[in-house]
A = this chain, B = another copy of it.
């Protein structure tokens, strides 16, 4: 059963859930499977369906992923990219960025204890294409986002993160992912606490919309 959410509400309330992930409530694997069944309905280039889905519930493996994640997050936290996320914005946006940062700190602390880790992967070859890889990732990432949306409709929250990719090889070794299969996103998944979600505050569309010409 899914929650009775209309299209816009569904898409606007599938938020990045970090602090509201319920670390103690077990997640039935069936809900993850159902969400993945829906995810497989997303498009892929030439209908290639080259995706693979790692679903990790083993506590030791999750702890291992969590350690790599925390180490990568610590580097990110010290980086200029991180500082840039907060800089040069309006006071209102800075307040948002500050909340995102606190929430991300928390996720890094608890990652290993989130009940389910879903890692979306794609058969891509050991050497990724040079230049623009949007073609490759466009055959996986829509499905990963569909997973999050379908999960949200089942009362499950998740957060999109790629910080684990700093240790992509180590995590591949931990889980036995073969070298030609590359990881696209880590989705820690759990029941969310609280009733529902509000849409996010975003910068206005007209700042990023270009009609006919830039």
Contact = CB atoms under 8 A, between A and B. Distances in A.
A173 to B, nearest CB: 11
A187 B48 CA distance: 18
A177 interface: yes
A206 to B, nearest CB: 9
Given A142-B145, A160-B142, A176 B134 contact: no
| Dominant SS among interface residues on chain A | mixed
Interface string A35-77: 0111111110111110111111110010000000000000000
Nearest to A181: B214
Contacts of A159: 43
Question: How many interface residues does chain A have, given as a range?
Answer: 35 or more
What number of copies of this chain does the assembly contain? 2
A130 to B, nearest CB: 8
Interface string A70-90: 000000000001100100000
Given A47-B85, A142-B145, A209-B53, A182 B38 contact: no
A208 B203 CA distance: 37
Contacts of A8: 2, 38, 150, 153
A7 B3 contact: yes
A3 B6 CA distance: 8
Contact of A184 (B4, B58, B61, B138): B138
Nearest to A128: B132
Contacts of A41: 11-12, 14, 199-200, 202
13 contacts: A7-B150, A51-B208, A52-B208, A53-B205, A53-B210, A54-B210, A58-B212, A134-B184, A137-B141, A141-B142, A175-B213, A177-B214, A178-B214
Report, nearest first, the 9 A-B pairs whose CB atoms are least far apart. A7-B153, A142-B145, A176-B214, A135-B162, A137-B137, A46-B85, A133-B133, A141-B141, A134-B184
